[in-house]
Amino acid sequence: MSFINKMGKAAAGLVLSASLMAGAATTVVAAEYTKENPLKVALVLHGTLGDKSFFDSAAAGMTKAEAELPVSVKIIEAGYDRSKWQPALADAADSGYDVVIAGTFDMTGYITELATQYPDVKFIDFDDAPDYTKCECKNVLGVMYGTSTAGYLAGYAAAKLSKTGVLATILGMEFPTVTDFKTGFDQGAKAANADIQILNSTAGTFSDPAKGKEIALAQLNQNADVIFPIAGSTGIGALQAVKEAGGGKLAVGVDSDQATIFAESDAAQADVIFTSVEKKVGESLFLALKGTIDGSQEYGKRILLGLKDGAVGISKNAYYEKLVPADLRAEIDAIEAKIISGEIQVNTDMK
């Protein structure tokens, strides 16, 4: 390993000096990728597939890319043991892939470290970005999601649907990728009804459904009738509380279209989720790879994708159509157009 590492560094040095001699800038000559000579991509997941959310969405984007682009993808599941994440990423960076994709702040540190060691490999860091002022990350693309723009739509709808005038949110933990959902949700809710009251709880964990359920029960007890959990499986417990409460109480799903996920196994659960604020990780990665192939995607910077890029959105499925009246749906569509055109400015926590 260390030998290969050294070789990699040496090769990198050679490439660097060669490009200096040629007087070329950082633009590498765009290679022509074909089905026979595809762009080699590794997706390193710091977890496993089958999470019904984030990682599955990323993998779906890879499947789409393989079908439509000259790309070959290897998905590496590093598991939930933290000590395996860095080696998995380092292995991928060292194995001759053109693009290595990993995500969230858990992986950013490792990406930053490896990006300088492997300057000829491109890295995509989704749902986070390295600090470009502190590292020479010319080969790293940070893809971030402005979820507040879609959260605004869900908040607006929630406030209009609420009969008690009390909404509630549950955060897993407080960091920007989580609170950004709420920032938009709150702003949208207040735009719909200036007197709306929004309860909020922070669970401190993303993996305790029993706790999420208790928090939601307490919020329902305090008169909330629409709950928006942004808390991974802690949030799934909250969805269950809303289902069991009945009586027209509603919930908003998060990250992926949660009503559709529940539709087959638990129809009663799907029936209370009127929409979900989706982070379309797969779609954004597909677009980034497409841009990489045709040379239009710049690296070495952070991009913040929102409603207008199609990277976030609310689910407009059968449940949305059933639970949200037609005039409100039309209103939401109008607001969506205004956010895209920039007429409505949505606050964001993504700085």
Partner 1 sequence: MTELLITIISTGFFATVIRTTTPLLLATLGGLIADLSGALNVALEGMMLIGCLTAVIVSVYAPWYVAVLSGVGAGALLGLLMAFFAYRLKADIILVGFAINILAAGGTVFALALATGGDKGTSINLQSQAIPPVDLTFLSGIPIIGPTLSAMLTGQSVVTWIAAFLVFAIWYFLYRTPWGLWLRGVGEYPAAPEAAGIPVTKVRTWSLVVSGALAGLGGAQLAMFNYVGFTRDMTGGRGFIALGAVLLGARHPVGATIAALLFGAFDAFAIVLPGLYNWMPSELIRMIPFIVTIVALISFSVRAQRALALRGVQ
Q: Is 304 exposed, middle or buried (0-12, 13-18, 19+ CB in 10 A)?
A: middle
Shorter beta-carbon distance to partner 1: residue 166 or 328: 166
Interface mask toward partner 1 for 165-184; x: CB under 8 A: ---x--x--x----------
The answer to whether 50 contacts partner 1 (rule: CB under 8 A) is yes
The answer to whether 240 contacts partner 1 (rule: CB under 8 A) is yes
**Cβ–Cβ < 8 Å for 320, 153:** no
Residues ≥6 apart with Cβ < 8 Å to 144? 126, 127, 128, 129, 177, 302, 303, 304, 305, 350
As measured in angstroms, the least distance from the Cβ of 241 to partner 1 is 9
Range 291-320, binding partner 1 (CB under 8 A): none
As measured in angstroms, the least distance from the Cβ of 165 to partner 1 is 15
CA dihedral 214, 218, 223, 226 (to 10 degrees): -30
Among 38, 51, 86, 291, binds partner 1 (CB under 8 A): 51
CA dihedral 98, 100, 101, 102 (to 10 degrees): -170
The answer to whether 212 contacts partner 1 (rule: CB under 8 A) is yes
- Give the HSE-up count for residue 209: Cα atoms under 13 Å, Cβ half-sphere: 7
The answer to whether 251 contacts partner 1 (rule: CB under 8 A) is no
Closest Cα to residue 257, out of 313, 212, 184?
313
Size, binding site for partner 1 by CB under 8 A? 42
Among 261, 273, 281, 307, binds partner 1 (CB under 8 A): 261
Distance CA 151, CA 49 (A): 26
Binding region for partner 1 (CB under 8 A) out of 31-39, 94-102, 184-192, 230-238: 230-238
Binding region for partner 1 (CB under 8 A) out of 20-28, 89-97, 209-217, 281-289: 209-217
Report helix angle 281-294 to 54-68, nearest 10.
40
Closest Cα to residue 185, out of 346, 311, 350, 338?
346
The answer to whether 131 contacts partner 1 (rule: CB under 8 A) is no
Binding region for partner 1 (CB under 8 A) out of 26-34, 35-43, 217-225, 329-337: 217-225
Distance CA 113, CA 116 (A): 6
The answer to whether 63 contacts partner 1 (rule: CB under 8 A) is no
Among 127, 186, 208, 349, binds partner 1 (CB under 8 A): 208
The answer to whether 343 contacts partner 1 (rule: CB under 8 A) is no
As measured in angstroms, the least distance from the Cβ of 148 to partner 1 is 19
The answer to whether 221 contacts partner 1 (rule: CB under 8 A) is yes
Type of residue at 19: S
Closest Cα to residue 73, out of 107, 100, 47?
100
**Cβ–Cβ < 8 Å for 196, 225:** no
Q: Which residues bind partner 1 (CB under 8 A)?
A: 48-53, 79-81, 168, 171, 174, 199-202, 204-205, 207-215, 217-219, 221-222, 233, 236-237, 240, 261-262, 264-266, 269
